Structures are given as structure tokens and as C-alpha cells.
Structure 1
Amino acid sequence: MTDSPEQTATTGTRTLRRDAAENRERLLRAAWEVFAEHGTEAGVEEIARRAGVGMGTLYRRFPTKEALIQALNDALMEKILGYARQVLAEEQGGGLEAYLWFTGTVMSAHHGGLSRLWQAKLPGADPRREELWTTVGQLLERAKQAGEVREDLTLTDVYLCVVALRSLIDDTAAPAPEVWRRYLAVVLAGFRPAAQPLDFRPADDSLVQTGIPGCGADRARAARS
């Protein structure tokens, strides 16, 4: 029995879609490898070569280098958000610390291409960002209720910890790839309950909603050059 024209067309479409998806995944994996070795100033030609595809395939999937970098950071955002949802749903203690350790581990495994992660955006520009920090805010409140963190700890404090961690990971990946763990352990020690209040007033949480202007700007400019 031979396939009808309709069956052949459908099978061909599915094959093309599968091939396109596989090419996209190969390009993303290669981009992480290349950016980890050379930073985002590395050329896309090397990414295509390592992925085993032609430049035409790369540009069909990612018309610009910025689009490729954005796709990488979108994938990280999805992974980090998914974990935050999971931790919140489990309703167990230690969720905030678990989220921070997971975020550090994910960023460390993908260093070199983190230029757009936590980058400043207009409020509402990325619904995932709003959901993530709403979820982290709930983890923070749960930690306060459980006596796991100090009462005056704010969501901005947690956000700035993540932003600083991202920069540290990218800057120390080659000479000291594990130093971020020590840094996070020290920060978490400062998050825990203490009798003495902090001397400085916290920033308001608008930073969490908009991001820090210029966050990742130097690497983003390098990616455009």
C-alpha cells in the first residue's frame, strides 16, 4: 500500500519540523559551549561549525546574534521559573535557600552567555519575570513565617543577591569556578535571623519589577559588535 499525497505531505512536514527543532537545540548547545569558552563576543560562525550546521540554518533559526542570546536566556528563565513553582508547591521549609542554590547552579552551568538574564525591562514586558519574582516573594514570606530569615529582609535584597551572583559567576568562571558557592553561603548567613537590625534602609521593590538599568549592558554591547 502506497502513501497518499496527503500522507506524504504530512510526513514530510513533520520531518522538517523535527529537523528544525533538532537544529535549534544543537545551535543552543553549541552557543553555550562557545560563549562559556570565549564570551558573547565569539563569532556565530564558530557556533554554526560546532553545531554541525550551515550559516543559513543558523540565521533561519536566529536572525541575529542578539536573538540567539535572548533564546539562551529565555531557556534559563523557564528553567529557573519552573523550579521556583515547584518549590512553592511543595510547601516545605528552606524553599528560598533551595531556589537560590538552584539558580546559582543553573547560571554556573551556563556561564558566558548570561548577559540578558535579569536585564532591565519595562514592567509587564515579560510575564515570566513578574511571575518569578511574585513566586520568590511568596517563598520569602514563607521563610519569614518559619523564622528562617530575618524579618527585615526584602525581596529587593534577594533580587540583588541573584544579580550579584550572576556577575560573579561570569567573572570568575575560569579562575575560580566554584567561588560563587562560598559567596552565596556568606550571603545566606546574612539573610538568617539576627537580633541586631541592619543599619541601612532597603531600596524599594521597584528594582525587582524593572531590573537594574545597565544590567548586562556591557556584554550586550559586545554581542552587537
Structure 2
Amino acid sequence: MGTGTAYRHFPNKQAIAAEVLADATEQIAVDAREALDIEDPWQALVTFFERNAARQARDRGLYEILTGQGDDEQQERIWPGIIAAVTQLLDRARQAGAVREDAEPQDVAVIFALLGPVIEMSRTTTPDLWKRYLALILDGLRATTQPALPAPAPPLQTLPVILKAGKSR
């Protein structure tokens, strides 16, 4: 498709990206609903986060959509379904005593936003580094009566190299 054709149908590049990523963003709500079928509320929440963080690691544009950088109309269309499904998932985990009492659905979006820079700066050097930081973040989300999660990978030994790689983009 040519640039002119694209802009006849979309007002800007963010709207184009939002349309292209519509399936990926709708999949977030699907994943949350599917996670509700997992018996253990904590494991359901972890599974939801892992699936979506892995999707975010594979798809650079998803981070922009998740952080509100897409088309406003598209954002208004996708977020209610995501929020409703994530709220059910988080409420169930909270009621089971698996997550902190003060955890809110909005925290889920922030967690994904926090993972975005880690994913980007380590994409070419340590592609699975996000798993370490997701575990550390989820450990902070857990109820304080729960045991701490083990970090799945060692910390970076070459932080300056990673930061330099992130700047070259």
C-alpha cells in the first residue's frame, strides 16, 4: 500500500499502527479472560503477565499502543474490554490473598509500560532479560504473606553496553 493510500484512510501514522495492532491489543483481553480458567488465582495472573510481556517483546509497536501513544479513538475502543477483563483477574487474585490489597487494574498497564524500556534496550543483547524484571515486579505485587519469587536470570553484567545499544536505535 502506498503512503497516499494509507493517509486517505488514516489521519496519521499512530492510527495506522493502532489498526495494525488491533488484534494484538484485543488479545490482551482474551488472555485475561482465558487466565480466569486457571484454578490458582496467582498463577492465572502470572500467566497473563508472561503471555502479554512475551507478545510485547515480539512486537515493538504494542508498547506504543499500551502506553497510550496510538490513535485516541482506537484507545477508547480497546481499553474498556482490557480493563474489564484485567479487573476480574486482579480482583480474583486479591480476594484469594495472592496480591497486595492496594493493587489496582491501572497497575497492570504501568507494569507493561515499565517493561517496555527493558525490552527495547536488551532486544539485541539479552532478549529474555524482561523475564527477570517481570519476576521482580510481580514479587512486589504479591501479598506480603506470600513467599518471594526467584529471579529467573542473573542481572546484567554489561549495563553500559545495553544502554549504548538502546541509544543506537
Fold conserved between structures, TM > 0.5:
yes
How many aligned residue pairs are there? 138
Alignment of 1:35-54 (within 5 A): none
1:43-69 superposed Cα distances (whole Å, 9 cap, x missing partner)? xxxxxxxxxxxx54x754x33644432
Q: Does structure 2 retain, via aligned residues, the 8 Å contact 1:111–1:173?
A: no
Higher relative contact order (CA 8 A, sep 6+): 1
Gaps of 5+ in 1: 1-54, 196-225
Pairwise CA distance, 1:183? 0.1
The percentage of aligned residue pairs carrying the same residue is 28
**C-alpha distance in structure 1 between counterparts of 2:54 and 2:66, whole Å:** 14
| Coordinate RMSD, CA, aligned | 2.7
Any residues of structure 2 matched to 1:88-103 within 5 Å, and which?
88=36, 90=37, 92-93=39-40, 94-103=43-52
Equivalent position amino acid for 1:159 in 2: A
* Residue 75 (structure 2) pairs with residue 104 (structure 1): no
**Unaligned regions of 5+ residues in structure 2, if any?**
146-169
From 24, 35, 45, the counterpart of 1:76: 24
- Residues 133-169 of structure 1: per-residue CA shift (max 9 Å, x gap): 1211111110012221122222232221111112321
Question: Counterparts of 1:87 and 1:59 in 2: how far apart (Å)?
Answer: 42
Q: CA 1:123/1:67 → structure 2, altered by over 3 Å: closer, same or farther?
A: closer
Deviations 1:163-205, CA, capped at 9 Å, x for gaps: 111232123212221110000001111111215xxxxxxxxxx
Determine the C-alpha separation between the residues in 2 that align with 1:187 and 1:131.
Answer: 24
Which one of 115, 121, 136 corresponds to residue 165 of structure 1? 115
Which whole-Å CA distance do the structure 1 matches of 2:89 and 2:62 have between them? 27
Secondary structure of the 1:184 match is: helix
Matches within 5 A, 1:1-225: 56=2, 60=5, 62-63=6-7, 65-88=13-36, 90=37, 92-93=39-40, 94-111=43-60, 114-119=63-68, 126-194=76-144
CA distance in 2 between counterparts of 1:164 and 1:134 reads: 21
Q: TM-score, normalised by structure 1?
A: 0.53
**TM-score normalized by structure 2?**
0.68
